[in-house]
Structure 1
Amino acid sequence: MADHQQKRNTLSLPHSVFSADWVRENEKLAARHIGVSLYKLMERAGEAAFLLCRKLYPDARRWLILCGHGNNGGDGYVIGRYARQYGIEVALVGCGDVHTLPPEARQARDNWSNNYGSVLPENAAWPENYDLIIDGLLGTGIQSEPREPYSTLIHRANQYPAPIMALDVPSGLNANTGVASGAVIQASQTVTFVALKSGLLTGQARNVTGTLYYDALGLSDWVREQNAPIQRLTVTDLQRWIKPRRPCCHKGDHGKLLVIGGEVGTGGAIRMAAEAGLRTGSGLVRVLTRAEHIAPVLAARPELMVQELTEESLDAGIAWADVIAIGPGLGTSEWAKAAIKQVSASEKIMLWDADALNLLAISSDKRQNRIITPHPGEAARLLQCDIQQIESDRLLSAQKLAERYGGVVVLKGAGTVIADEHLHLAIADVGNAGMASGGMGDLLSGIIASLSGQGLSPFDAACAGCVIHGGAADIVAWRQGERGMIATDLLREIPKLVNP
């Protein structure tokens, strides 16, 4: 079986992202804009997918095409016709009542039947030894788990010993949210059409889409003219946020970062956050922590300024700092609560993470000068729901967090979502499974806070920080692989990304 884990194909993908609902509602308008019919657009989709299959699988001579009862199935019928014209052996399975097909899909099926004969019924035995499966079962319209006979066909396709090319979206994956609530195609590749859909970039998408490809079907100019509600972020975006430094400058020009945390036993968290701030370019970084951690942190990174966290040192630190990060290793003791209360009185830009978020969930304090960086569990506590509800719509969850708590929200995970109250939304299309290890969030806190101290707005700092964080992990994965990656591996790669 092919490796179905999503691989990066970032350079060929657009940065504008839309909901699948929006694409469906505007597809007819788009086709009219360039003077073609919806059927012609379907022909273009089928041809684009056929050419991609030929490019990726030049030796595949026997294709099994699964066609559902919508326009996604219509794309499959078009592909079958192109494949037969090229001399490829095709077995085509049709699912659902032919009389309920949309007009364009019905025309595509009729063109297949009139020229090449029969369509196998949904319960037919599949021919053996086919080289490639093409998934045109459900497309972008699904909002719940697939029903029969689709769920059975999806399971059969996943068990068949051939790679799967999914059309527009793997069948069973919600193209808006990236949720797979039931059976879902485990695609080796996915080719999506017209516009990039949000559900292909977050949620469970990376588990099932394989390598993601995109074809605008001749509509790229029209798509660029639309006001995209979501931005897809990659390392190519860093140049618009991070500029070369002026030759004549000093450390005070690049931000003074105060990092607070490190309860007894968690000194590593505060050290990693602080060093990430240095590596990202902060001119000065001061750490306030438990007295037990002062010597170890200074020994590991003498460029840091480290003091015991007391009421007096925190007052002085807040007055000194340009930006404040609190939470890594903080704990929830009275010591931690006192620090949170003191920091909350400041109007300076601040970032709250980890245990600071657990304490925030109790107070529900709303403010505009704060960036919060929850993982799904912390987000669930903040919204007083369960993790499943957070993951059922990560974009909506991030927006709800921004509405309730103000400022900027970074909802971490595969396809990290960045949101604010002004309806700005972005998805960081970077990172890999090697980041599922302790300490990664501490680095992100230091990176984002450092960028904020260097003059980026809180939203831009969050976006750029997520890209640097995930991009550094991608460099590490390329060099040594994902398994065994630890947070401090990223520290030496961060300077490569903050000097684009």
Structure 2
Amino acid sequence: MGQLERDAADSLGLTLYELMLRAGQASYERVRAQWPQAQHWLILCGQGNNGGDGYVVARLAQAAGLRVTLLACSGNKPLPEEAQQAQEAWLAAGGVIHAPDAPWPQNIDVIVDALLGTGINRAPAAPYAELIDLANAHAAPIFAIDIPSGLDAATGTTPGNAINADVTLSMIVLKPGLLTGKARDHVGRLHCDALGLNTFLAGETAPMQRYDAADLAHWLKPRKATSHKGDHGRLVVVGGDTGTAGAIRMTAEAALRSGAGLVRVLTHEDNIGPILTARPELMVDALGEETLEQALQWADVIAIGPGLGQRDWAQKALKKVAASEKPMLWDADALNLLAIKPDYRQNRIITPHPGEAARLLGVKTREVERDRLQAAQTLAKRYGGVVVLKGAGTIVASAAGDIAIADVGNAGMASGGMGDVLSGIIAAMLGQKLTLLEAASAGCVAHGAAADAVARQRGTRGMLATDLFELLWQFVNPEMIQQ
């Protein structure tokens, strides 16, 4: 980011202080728009350029006739040149700087967090930690400049205390730590302001992508009027040992509801009747050597894992599937078996949650969560193809180096069966001629966007995986949203 700012400033003939003035102006305007009735602003400034942005905000607010109380942390090193200029401009305008341990005044209407910027990658120390705790405990809403203080901009982790912002305004571009990991606990409503650098940024190639429901139309075009079921993929889904018919049924139905032309289920014989009764559009047969051989020859796409188990029955099926060169998706127990006997292949999507990812990498789950982006990239390099690392801010990574964050989904998705539904959606996308990377990205976005639509109607608590089926159609037919 530092290099990007310098390059942008040089390209457009701006000083870094002028960029800081733009950041402060954008922050001031966002706070005024969000909380127009706020008359008393408490601004917390740190020792870096994030603090400099805070001084600009303070000066603009005071000039507008608002009451401003500014607390600033001091340190052994002088302020960066731009922040020093901003501080001097605040003092020249009659502003007052209070010590970080000064008592907070009454009737604070909004808190502006300008303590720590994107450079922090360790736990905040005193007095920052104390100010973060005081801000979080206060009743006033919090606005974070660029990133909530204490949140790691690269990974979304929180090594220590972190601001719980109501609104965050990211400057110039989004940072990955605002979209994954612990981000959603701290960022609040996220906005981004390019600070007038749009022309410069248009010539830059982003190292990763952010996707949401608006991107679905890029992948999912309206169907031709003359298309038939064979045009949209023949999918075989393998799984559902004794007692786990629900998992494979959800995967199979999700595929149908995402546009798969034909879906064939191979499962334990005890599951055939219940699955057919629940969803007669599925073709269901007992999993055996002969039926699997026939299905693999018939299928365009293979999905294996939901409810599969790990006994001999499952291991033989996975070994047979692994011999195929057709596009495929491995999930759940297929991943647990893969962790025992790793292999590398380019025709496969794997969809681990953090615990499964940890087993695949031979590490603890907390190590995966410490840097989700790095974990996803390592998985892709080790196992090939495309990796979907599930969680808040799902990450899609390929062995070729592509990486994206699906900025959709909500806490209601923390319930059984959500991963089974995701597998079916992604597998259906593969059958509709999307590449592995496109299918994984589109599937994650459609899945999370449908869950968000359910949450808007009913809230997050009590959301079922099958609730997504009621609204999924909107997102796998994006032309309907645009009408």
Alignment TM-score > 0.5, same fold: yes
Residue type of the alignment partner of 2:272: I
Asked whether the 8 Å contact 1:84–1:90 carries over to 2, the reply is: yes
Aligned to 1:316: 294
Query: What SS class does the counterpart of residue 467 from structure 1 fall into?
Result: helix
- What pairs up with 1:261-276 in 2 under 5 angstroms? 261-276=239-254
Tell me which residue corresponds to 1:200. Answer: 178
Root-mean-square deviation over aligned CA pairs: 0.9
Q: 1:58 and 1:463 mapped to 2: Cα distance?
A: 38
1:59 to 12, 37, 62: 37
Does the 8 Å contact 1:69/1:98 carry over to 2? no
Q: Of 148, 155, 159, which aligns to 2:137?
A: 159
Q: Contact between 1:76 and 1:136, CA under 8 Å: does it hold in 2?
A: yes
| Superposition misfits of 4+ residues, deviation over 3 angstroms | none
Compute the displacement of 1:98 (Å): 7.8
Question: Is 2:315 aligned against 1:337?
Answer: yes
* Aligned with residue 290 of structure 1, among 237, 255, 268: 268
Distance 1:462 1:50 in 2: 39
Aligned-partner residue type, residue 320 of structure 1: W
Give the residue type in structure 2 aligned to 1:51. Answer: E
Structure 1 alignment gaps of length 5 or more: 1-22
User: What corresponds to 1:230 in structure 2?
Assistant: 208
What are the superposed Cα offsets for residues 24-66 of structure 1, whole Å, 9 maximum, x if unpaired? 1221111122221111111111111111111111111111100
Corresponding position of 2:481: none
Q: Secondary structure at the match of 2:118?
A: helix
**In the aligned structure 2, how far is the partner of 1:191 from the partner of 1:339?**
50
Give the match for residue 382 of structure 2: 404
Tell me, yes or no, if the aligned pair for 2:410 and 2:448 is still in contact at 8 Å.
Answer: yes
Query: Which residue does the alignment assign to 2:230?
Result: 252
Whole-angstrom distance in 2 between the partners of 1:332 and 1:482: 32
CA–CA separation in structure 1 for the residues paired with 2:61 and 2:474: 46
The 8 Å contact of residues 98 and 106 in structure 1, kept in 2 or not, is answered as: no
User: What is the aligned counterpart of 2:336 among 354, 358, 362?
Assistant: 358
Check conservation: 1:61, 1:131, Cα contact below 8 A.
yes
2:100 aligned with 1:122, yes or no? yes
In 2: Cα distance, 1:272 partner to 1:339 partner: 20
Q: Which moved more, 1:120-129 or 1:310-319?
A: 120-129
Displacement of 1:444 in angstroms is 0.6
Residue 249 of structure 1, CA deviation: 2.1
What secondary structure is seen at the aligned counterpart in 2 of 1:140? coil
Secondary structure at the aligned position of 1:116 is classed as: coil
What amino acid is aligned across from residue 167 of structure 1 in structure 2? Answer: I
- Take 1:312 and 1:53, find their aligned partners in 2: how far apart are those partners? 65
2:424 paired with 1:446: yes
The residue aligned with 1:459 is: 437
Deviations 1:330-387 (A, max 9, x none): 1111111111111111111110000100000001111111000000000000000011
Per-residue Cα deviation, 1:300-347 (whole angstroms, up to 9, x for no partner): 000100000001111111011000000000111111111111111111
| Partner AA of 2:188 in structure 1 | G
Aligned pair count reads 478
Residue 220 of structure 2 corresponds to 242
Distance 1:350 1:29 in 2: 43
Aligned equivalents of 2:476, 2:163: Cα separation in 1 = 38
Give the Cα separation in 2 of the matches to 1:443 and 1:73.
Answer: 45
Task: Please give the alpha-carbon distance, in whole angstroms, between the structure 2 residues aligned to 1:147 and 1:99.
Answer: 15
Unaligned runs of 5+ in 2: 479-483
Q: Is the 8 A contact 1:351 1:372 kept in 2?
A: yes
Where does residue 15 of structure 1 map in the other structure? none
Q: Which residue does the alignment assign to 1:415?
A: 393
Distance, in Å, in 1 between the alignment partners of 2:241 and 2:77 is 67
How big is the shift at 1:498?
Answer: 1.3
Q: Contact 1:136/1:167 (CA < 8 Å) preserved in 2?
A: yes
Percent of paired sites with the same residue: 57
Q: Give the whole-Å Cα distance in 2 for the aligned partners of 1:464 and 1:184.
A: 32
TM-score w.r.t. length of structure 1: 0.94
Structure 2 distance, partners of 1:43, 1:368, is 48
C-alpha separation between the residues in 2 aligned to 1:74 and 1:404? Answer: 43
Q: Deviations over 1:373-407 (max 9, x none)?
A: 00000000000001111011111110000000000
Name the residue aligned to 2:153. 175
Give a deviation string over 1:226-265, Cα, whole Å, max 9, x none: 1101111011111111111111122111110000000111
